[in-house]
Structure 1
Amino acid sequence: MRIIRPAPGERRWHLTTVDPTPTSLPTALAEPTARVHRTWILLLFGANLGLWMAFFTPIQVLLPLQIERIAPAGKEAALAWVMAAGAFAAIIANPLAGALSDRTCLRVGGRELGRRHAWTFGGTVLAAIGLLLLSRQQTLLGVALCWTAVQIFLNAMLASLTAAVPDRVPVAQRAAVSGWVGIPQSLGLVVGAVLVTALFTGTVSGYTAVAVALLVLGLPFALRTADDPLPRHHRPPLSPRTLVAQMWISPRRHPDFAWAWGTRFLVQLGNAFGTLYLLYFLTDGVRHPDPESGLLILILLYTAGMMTTAVISGRVSDRSGRRKAFVIWSGVEMAVAALILAIWPTFPAAIVAAVLLGGGYGVYLAVDAALITEVLPAAASRAKDLGVINIANAAPQVLGPLLSAPIVVHLGGYPTLYVLTAVITLVGSALVLKIRSVR
């Protein structure tokens, strides 16, 4: 309440109600305008590098080897079920952690803390512990349970890191920054593969090395960068019913967001088809004499192709203001790579495909990530909305193993799998044409 002095000609004082809510948005919800600096990008790069090492090194190397020792006769189906269990947990954990992050208001010693870094810190530490427990498992059930827990904690970390770009980076810089942030998705696998195939060759030591790398790379971003606090009067209501209801984003009200989700889902489904059984493809399809070394070579070439295109295409996209043409081109390039694997199951052909696939995926990661930040429904729910987008990343990890395992075993083997990969990737990239608000 506030006492108002009488205006000229009036004789009485009166009371009025003053809305305590400020008319302008707090920094945590405002659209960023200041460009981020190299140190910030480097720390975010490192955190993502640790994250994707922890995601992909087990998927591509450690889990297949661990499961092959436990169940050699049914390794394809066993790997599929373990991967599907972890990915299903990720589908739930990522948007839920994002929604909770959007509502986080912390105060320590009278000082307000930001809403993101607590999730980055907690997810990093708990995922590292989960990896250590996973390394000791000797049964399929134990592997499945521990990998599911690791997925939950990594997705809590991922939800907060993904929100960092729309939280802090202006639109004119987003594709370039997204290019740098996208590189660790492949570089993490390279570094992880080197660790577990050349330096720490045992399963236990391999998981331990990945866990330590996750801590060393992930924690500095949470401890050394700014994190804007969310004023309590701006916090959205919190209840189980509200959380569940907000997971649905109406395609009718937000059609561009829906088409962006569909594009991401199909491209990532194609990527899951094309990469899940790569080690087994080299073993059983190409019959490479040393499939683990061959896999490392392909990963290195894939990453080189990706690093070459990610930042360059992001900068060109930022300067031109165009996004959709880059996404379509990336889909075409990845589809060509998949067709090469389908037609010529030889190691030289796989080398060519790895370079093409990496180059196409680098363009896709940089530009599509920036495009998605431009179609988010609301600033107050960035992490939750990006969590819904991340369902399009995680759901293919559920469907990919369940669909590709019978294709490999019963429906034509690897040629059929890679033709289907090409078709799905092309259709997914073409859906970007439906987005109206982004060029």
Structure 2
Amino acid sequence: MPAEEQGAALQSRRFLWLYALAAAGGSVAYVPFLTILLPMRVTGMAGTDDVAWLAYATFFGAIAASLSNIAFGWASDRTRRREPWIAAGLVTSSVLLGAFGWIGGVAETILLLLLWQIALNMMLAPLAAWAGDHVPDDQKGRLGGLLAFSPAAGAAAGVLVTLPGLATADTRLWLVAALVALCVAPVLLFGRARSLVALDEQRNEVTAPRKRQRGEVIRMWTARLLVQISEAALFAFLFFWFRAIDPAMTDARVAQIFGLILAGAVPLAIAAGKWADRHDRPFAPLALCAAGAAVGLMVMAAAPGLGAALTGYVIFGLSASIFLSLHSAQTLRVLPRAEHRGRDLGIFNLTNTGPSLVMPWLTLALVPAFGFTGLFVALSAFAAIATLLLLRMPRTS
């Protein structure tokens, strides 16, 4: 294809980078709040009953997020406009986030949490589908690489808003809301996505011209779910495992390791995404990363000491982080019907919220009987199955 035609068939770098910034804003919206600010508020209200109340909040919050993500994805499909939903969700979720400072009871906090989850997914669901409307298949690898900024941004925001002396507990909520607005607003105001003929035709047809077999969609969905379960389990119980190996391990050191892995995944994901686009091998990096996650978990399961444990976790952490960011973009490639993109992505989003419902029971079933070694072996098997599923995907797009 001539250079002029090829450039015309691609989305502008400005939109890609501003969209990646907005996606990072979505991570900033929930990571600091759900992992740090909300648990601190629940502990202050509930005291010794904080774990039980936090479990209720997590459970019902995950259900609200799952259903509302599907609903607002469907609504943005019906209206054929993503931007108004994104803007409305940004404003509403920001106001509700600040409103947590006015609530003094645990039950009221959980009710407000459900409303906030609904408002947040009013922004997140159309935002995810918006990429499919404007980013062609030839750039989905690059898009996936840029999405690796999202978890790193969420972790960095958590560090920033909790700096000693920076803000009070209530002010932190508004600080998070301001950071989200600074990330999301630019793409709405200045994104100006380039109109691409191929994508416009696909969006206006009843069925996308390149049908995907149902089995491919199921394999992609299942592979992400299996890796997400492994990632969620590690996220929740990593500190306890490190302490079991080395009692001197502190929460600050674990957080530093986690942050370094997220930061290191960004350039690797960008490089992998560019390679996938250049060689038209969209699913090869996904299979490789799933295999890397399986290897890392087995190293962790067999680790005799802290050095091997850290090595295994670095392998797993980098592999899983790259996998999840690239998978988010390549999912847009396999969805069969462009006019239902938002709804279908909401169904894919169940792979993000579902593990929080599965992971605690899996851990309780395995750790008391087999220790963390048994848990890591099981999680490694999940990642290995994901690898096999992805190896069955087409070699090219």
The amino acid across from 1:65 in the alignment is M
* 1:391–1:253 distance in 2 versus 1, CA, 3 Å: same
* 1:76–1:323 distance in 2 versus 1, CA, 3 Å: farther
CA distance in 1, matches of 2:40, 2:172: 11
* 1:345–1:85 distance in 2 versus 1, CA, 3 Å: farther
Q: Is the 2:145–2:269 contact (alpha carbons within 8 Å) kept by the matching residues of 1? A: yes
The amino acid across from 1:376 in the alignment is L
The answer as to 2:271 corresponding to 1:271 is no
CA distance in 1, matches of 2:105, 2:242: 26
**Structure-2 residue corresponding to 1:325:** 284
Q: Deviations over 1:18-40 (max 9, x none)?
A: xxxxxxxxxxxxxx963222221
**Structure-1 residue corresponding to 2:390:** 432
The amino acid across from 2:378 in the alignment is L
> 3-state DSSP class of the match of 2:287?
helix
**Structure-1 residue corresponding to 2:17:** 42
Matches within 5 A, 1:54-93: 54-71=29-46, 73=48, 76-93=51-68
CA distance in 2, matches of 1:197, 1:342: 35
The answer as to 2:132 corresponding to 1:166 is yes
CA distance in 1, matches of 2:308, 2:41: 28
> 3-state DSSP class of the match of 2:147?
helix
C-alpha displacement of 1:381 = 1.4
- TM-score normalised to the size of structure 2? 0.83
> 3-state DSSP class of the match of 2:281?
coil
| Equivalent residue for 1:255, pick from 207, 211, 215 | 215
Q: Is the 1:174–1:370 contact (alpha carbons within 8 Å) kept by the matching residues of 2? A: yes
Q: Which runs of 5+ in 2 are unaligned?
A: 1-6, 207-211
> 3-state DSSP class of the match of 1:103?
helix
CA distance in 2, matches of 1:160, 1:53: 17
CA distance in 1, matches of 2:37, 2:240: 13
Q: Is the 1:262–1:428 contact (alpha carbons within 8 Å) kept by the matching residues of 2? A: yes
Q: Is the 1:274–1:338 contact (alpha carbons within 8 Å) kept by the matching residues of 2? A: no
* 1:68–1:430 distance in 2 versus 1, CA, 3 Å: farther
Q: Deviations over 1:89-134 (max 9, x none)?
A: 11111111111001116xxxxxxxxx00111111111222222233
The amino acid across from 1:50 in the alignment is G
Matches within 5 A, 1:377-396: 377-396=336-355
CA distance in 2, matches of 1:132, 1:363: 32
C-alpha displacement of 1:88 = 1.1
**Structure-2 residue corresponding to 1:215:** 181
Q: Is the 1:175–1:369 contact (alpha carbons within 8 Å) kept by the matching residues of 2? A: no
- Bigger Rg, structure 1 or 2: 1
Q: Is the 1:49–1:184 contact (alpha carbons within 8 Å) kept by the matching residues of 2? A: yes
The amino acid across from 2:145 in the alignment is G
CA distance in 2, matches of 1:96, 1:64: 27
The answer as to 2:154 corresponding to 1:179 is no
* 1:81–1:412 distance in 2 versus 1, CA, 3 Å: farther
Q: Deviations over 1:248-268 (max 9, x none)?
A: xxxx96221122111121111
CA distance in 2, matches of 1:256, 1:156: 28
C-alpha displacement of 1:436 = 4.5
Once the two structures are overlaid, the 10-residue window that deviates more, 371-380 or 338-347, is 338-347
CA distance in 1, matches of 2:139, 2:292: 25
Q: Deviations over 1:126-158 (max 9, x none)?
A: 222222233555544334323322222222212
The amino acid across from 1:404 in the alignment is T
**Structure-1 residue corresponding to 2:78:** 103
Q: Which runs of 5+ in 1 are unaligned?
A: 1-31, 106-114, 238-251
Q: Is the 2:42–2:53 contact (alpha carbons within 8 Å) kept by the matching residues of 1? A: yes
Q: Is the 2:300–2:308 contact (alpha carbons within 8 Å) kept by the matching residues of 1? A: yes
The answer as to 2:153 corresponding to 1:195 is no
* 1:152–1:200 distance in 2 versus 1, CA, 3 Å: farther
Q: Is the 1:166–1:373 contact (alpha carbons within 8 Å) kept by the matching residues of 2? A: yes
CA distance in 2, matches of 1:146, 1:90: 13
* 1:153–1:338 distance in 2 versus 1, CA, 3 Å: farther
Q: Higher helix share goes to which structure?
A: 2
Identity among equivalent pairs (%): 25
* 1:78–1:403 distance in 2 versus 1, CA, 3 Å: farther
